[in-house]
Amino acid sequence: MTVAQIAQILNARIICGEDRQDHHLEVACASDLMSDVLTLKEDNVLLVTGLANLQTLRTAEMSDIHCVVFARNKTVSPEMIELARENDIIVLECPYSVFRTAGILYQAGIKPIY
């Protein structure tokens, strides 16, 4: 599934990485615990989270996660956008809860890691 398709089904706004809407994603995880995210061995995972701070993007950077969806209507700060741009991370803001976001993605065929 492409970022553009994901943004559409989640009613999400692409905040960063507008030029990479054709980036393809197949698996996702949902977590507010960055320690959990850091244990994932897979690359190119879509991260769904309600934790909006700089460390979310640092975690994405270290884990080779190229796309983060901030659910629960969380807003991304200018510092977060800057860090995302530096590391080529696509950022989406989504008005739905983490549960609803994950449900929509699962129904659309995005796979869980385990």
Partner 1 sequence: MHFEFQIEGGNFTRAGYASSEIKKMLKQLNVDLGIVKRTVVATYEAEVNVVAHAYSGTIYVDFDEEKVVIRLVDEGPGIPDIDQAMKEGYTTASSTVREMGFGAGMGLPNMKKNADDLQISSEVDKGTTVQITMYFQGRK
- Residue 19 sits at φ, ψ, to 5 deg, of -80, -5
Please report whether residue 61 would count as binding partner 1 according to CB under 8 A: yes
Please report whether residue 113 would count as binding partner 1 according to CB under 8 A: no
The angle at the Cα of 72, spanning 36 to 5, to the nearest 5 degrees, equals: 85
Q: 11 in the Ramachandran plot: left (φ > 0), alpha (ψ -120 to 50) or beta? A: left
Please report whether residue 33 would count as binding partner 1 according to CB under 8 A: yes
Please report whether residue 35 would count as binding partner 1 according to CB under 8 A: yes
In the list 32, 74, 95, 100, the residue contacting partner 1 (rule: CB under 8 A) is 32
**List of E strands, 31-72:** 45-49, 67-70
In the list 18, 26, 36, 88, the residue contacting partner 1 (rule: CB under 8 A) is 36
Query: Which residues contact partner 1 (rule: CB under 8 A)?
Result: 32-39, 43, 51, 53-56, 58-59, 61-64, 79, 87
